[in-house]
């Protein structure tokens, strides 16, 4: 679905969302004919393979599981009377269910098979290499373009990280990057920032696409490896001067590998401005050291930040405060925001370090402004509060992220998507020079 179409019809049916997402990831030819032949799914992609075989050979078996899960939700929704009406809806549902039954039967057979560990490891390596090559080549293309145009000191480059499984409640943030992109270019608003930078100018904003998180997880890549891949992807973007990454999450667990990469690439710690309803500094929330609620513990442990300022906090436990004291975090809670406002709207960061990183969790905003988040926490910042902090910040912003937008909880008119897009616009203005 095109950007303008999405803007005109933000109440599009889940089927259209499904087709849109699958087309992005698999290509229109694959969407037109779903292939459930296990030989095609298992066969290695060789130089002599036909075009059709190459397209299917690149798919890993659990991709089918992912597709089936999403298709089942659509089929159930249609069966319940949603979406288009009449025989078309019934036909869509029946056709989808027939394919689902075939696919589920195959999936059970494949899951029962003994797959050698060496085959799995080799498959993982190939998928990881392909994933990094994808980011490397896209970043190189955008970097060459900007160097040819000239006159650019720093340019913002979007990098999507559609990861949601480290969320402790809902995993909808995995679907956020394409929704944010659509909202950025929505015809209902112009493409300039408030201070007048034009996003259609490639010297201001480029896009290197997404880290293929689902494909990596499909072939069994664990979180430790996944974090390394995200870090390496960020470094690949930064290698192409003058690109600076603005990362679209995804849940907040992605901030750890991104900050780590930026710090390591620049050769030293950063100052971090973190806007959030929660401090996300648990040692290992629910036993998960990579939880979205533990990302800043990993950042501080690694020495990747000199200063960490957390603004908008209004849901904090005893452990959150203790961890904040342990790491010397400057926590500014909403209950004292009226007292702290003047200082926070006139911050000067980054002196003596390699730069400033900004992490914006959309739930820093009061849910009246951004209801499409997993953890709704009343009493938050207004949108203008956030913009005042960002606009007045004196800093060399070297990278940023916007995380925890959950499209599955957004309003029918995409209100939170537009809010997230506006945040991206204004962060772009801080990064690009």
Q: What is the pLDDT of residues 215-272, one digit of tens each?
A: 899 888 999 999 999 999 999 999 999 999 999 999 999 999 999 999 999 999 999 9
- Mean pLDDT over 293-297 rounds to 99
- Domain boundaries 118-431, corresponding CATH code: 3.40.800.10
First to last CA, the chain: 33
Q: For residue 348, is pLDDT > 50?
A: yes
User: 196: burial class by Cβ within 10 Å (0-12, 13-18, 19+)?
Assistant: exposed
pLDDT of residue 122: 84
**Cβ–Cβ under 8 Å, residues 141 and 157:** no
**Cβ–Cβ under 8 Å, residues 355 and 349:** no
Q: For residue 76, is pLDDT > 50?
A: no
- Mean pLDDT over 135-162 rounds to 97
pTM of the full predicted structure? 0.77
Q: What percent of the chain has pLDDT over 90?
A: 70
**Cβ–Cβ under 8 Å, residues 270 and 263:** yes
Q: For residue 160, is pLDDT > 80?
A: yes
What's the residue count for the chain?
Answer: 433
Q: pLDDT band at 25, cuts 50/70/90?
A: low
> Where do the domains of the chain lie?
118-431
> Given its phi and psi angles, is residue 425 left (phi above 0), alpha (psi -120 to 50 degrees) or beta?
alpha
Tokens of 226: 């996944």
Nearest to 348 by CA among 236, 251, 273, 278: 273
Phi and psi at 387, nearest 5°, equal: -65, -35
Q: For residue 342, is pLDDT > 90?
A: yes
Q: What is the pLDDT of residues 397-419, one digit of tens each?
A: 999 999 999 999 999 999 999 99
């Amino acid at each position: 679905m095109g950007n303008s179409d999405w803007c005109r019809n933000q109440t599009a049916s889940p089927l259209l969302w499904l087709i849109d997402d699958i087309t992005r990831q698999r290509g229109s030819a694959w969407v037109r004919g779903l292939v459930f032949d296990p030989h095609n799914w298992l066969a290695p992609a060789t130089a002599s393979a036909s075009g059709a075989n190459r397209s299917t050979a690149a798919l890993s078996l659990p991709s089918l599981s992912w597709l089936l899960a999403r298709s089942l939700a659509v089929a159930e929704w249609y069966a319940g009377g949603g979406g288009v009406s009449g025989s078309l809806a019934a036909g869509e549902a029946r056709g989808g269910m027939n394919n689902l039954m075939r696919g589920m039967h195959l999936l059970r057979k494949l899951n029962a098979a003994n797959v050698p560990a060496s085959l799995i490891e080799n498959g993982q390596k190939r998928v990881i290499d392909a994933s990094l090559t994808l980011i490397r080549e896209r970043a190189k293309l955008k970097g060459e373009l900007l160097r040819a145009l000239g006159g650019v000191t720093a340019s913002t480059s979007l990098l999507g990280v559609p990861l949601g499984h480290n969320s402790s409640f809902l995993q909808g943030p995995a679907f956020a990057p394409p929704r944010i992109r659509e909202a950025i270019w929505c015809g209902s608003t112009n493409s300039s920032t408030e201070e007048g930078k034009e996003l259609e100018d490639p010297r201001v904003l480029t896009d290197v696409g997404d880290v293929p998180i689902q494909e990596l997880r499909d072939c069994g890549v664990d979180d430790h490896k996944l974090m390394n891949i995200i870090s390496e992807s960020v470094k690949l973007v930064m290698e192409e001067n003058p690109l600076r990454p603005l990362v679209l999450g995804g849940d907040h667990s992605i901030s750890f590998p991104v900050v780590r990469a930026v710090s390591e690439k620049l050769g030293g710690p950063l100052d971090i401005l973190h806007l959030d309803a929660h401090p996300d500094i648990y040692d290992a929330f629910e036993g998960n050291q990579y939880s979205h609620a533990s990302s800043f513990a990993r950042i501080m442990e690694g020495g990747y930040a000199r200063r960490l300022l957390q603004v908008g906090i209004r849901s904090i436990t005893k452990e959150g405060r203790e961890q904040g004291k342990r790491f010397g975090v400057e926590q500014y809670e909403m209950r004292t925001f009226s007292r702290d406002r003047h200082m926070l709207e006139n911050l000067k960061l980054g002196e003596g370090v390699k730069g400033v990183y900004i992490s914006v969790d959309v739930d820093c905003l009061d849910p009246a402004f951004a209801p499409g988040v997993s953890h709704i926490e009343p009493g938050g910042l207004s949108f203008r509060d956030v913009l005042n902090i960002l606009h007045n910040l004196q800093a060399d912003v070297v990278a940023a992220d916007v995380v925890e937008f959950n499209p599955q909880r957004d309003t029918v008119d995409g209100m939170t998507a537009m809010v997230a897009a506006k945040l991206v616009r204004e962060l772009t203005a801080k990064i690009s020079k």
